[in-house]
Amino acid sequence: MAKYDLRGKVGIVTGANAGIGKRVALGMAQAGATVVMACRSAERGEAARQEVIAHSGNKDVHLLQVDLSSQASIRAAVAEFEGRFARLDVLINNAANFDQRLKAPVLTAEGIETVFATNHLGPFLLTNLLLPRLKASAPARVINVASKGLITYPRLSIEFDNLNGQRKFSMQHAYYHSKLAQVMFTYDLAERLAGSGVTANIIRVPVVRLDEGRYDHVPGWMQAMYRLKMRLAAIAPEQMAETYLYLAAAPEAAALTGQYIDENRQPVKSSGPSYDRAVWTRLWDVSARLTGLEETVTA
Ligand SMILES: NC(=O)c1ccc[n+]([C@@H]2O[C@H](COP(=O)([O-])OP(=O)(O)OC[C@H]3O[C@@H](n4cnc5c(N)ncnc54)[C@H](OP(=O)(O)O)[C@@H]3O)[C@@H](O)[C@H]2O)c1
CB of 244 shorter than 6 A to ligand 1: no
CB of 115 shorter than 6 A to ligand 1: no
Domain ranges of the chain: 10-290
Of residues 153, 175, 187, 244, which has the active-site annotation?
175
Q: Does CATH place domain 10-290 in 3.40.50.720?
A: yes
Report CA 47 to chain centroid distance, whole Å.
Answer: 21
Cβ–Cβ under 8 Å, residues 245 and 4: yes
- Tell me the C-alpha distance between 122 and 124, whole Å: 5
Does 295 have pLDDT greater than 70?
Answer: no
What digits encode the pLDDT tens for the residues 237-280?
Answer: 999 999 999 999 999 999 999 999 999 999 999 999 999 999 99
For 259-277, give the secondary structure using H, E and C: CEECCCCCECCCCHHHHCH
Mutate to test the pocket of ligand 1, among 93, 114, 120, 208 (most ligand atoms within 8 A of CB): 208
Does 297 have pLDDT greater than 80?
Answer: no
Q: Which atom of ligand 1 is nearest to the CA of 20?
A: 16
State the DSSP code for 229. H
Q: Which atom of ligand 1 is nearest to the CA of 209?
A: 1
What digits encode the pLDDT tens for the residues 46-72?
Answer: 999 999 999 999 999 999 999 999 999
What digits encode the pLDDT tens for the residues 126-183?
Answer: 999 999 999 999 999 999 999 999 999 999 999 999 999 999 999 999 999 999 999 9
For residue 119, how far is its CA from the centre of ligand 1 (angstroms)?
Answer: 9
**Sheet containing 61-65: order of strands:** 61-65, 34-39, 10-14, 90-93, 140-147, 198-205, 260-261
Q: Which of 49, 9, 45 is nearest to 141 (CA)?
A: 9
Let me know if 175 is a catalytic residue.
Answer: yes
CB of 41 shorter than 6 A to ligand 1: yes
Q: Helix %, strand %, coil % for the chain, to 5?
A: 45, 15, 40
Pairing, β 90-93 against β 10-14: parallel
Residues 6+ apart with CB under 8 A from 61: 25, 29, 34, 35, 37, 49, 52, 53
pLDDT at site 298: 56
Cβ–Cβ under 8 Å, residues 96 and 83: no
Does 296 have pLDDT greater than 60?
Answer: no
Indicate the pTM of the whole model: 0.97
At residue 227 the predicted structure's pLDDT band, cuts being 50, 70 and 90, is confident
Q: Report residue 231: phi and psi, to 5°.
A: -70, -40
Mutate to test the pocket of ligand 1, among 74, 119, 147 (most ligand atoms within 8 A of CB): 147
CB of 178 shorter than 6 A to ligand 1: no
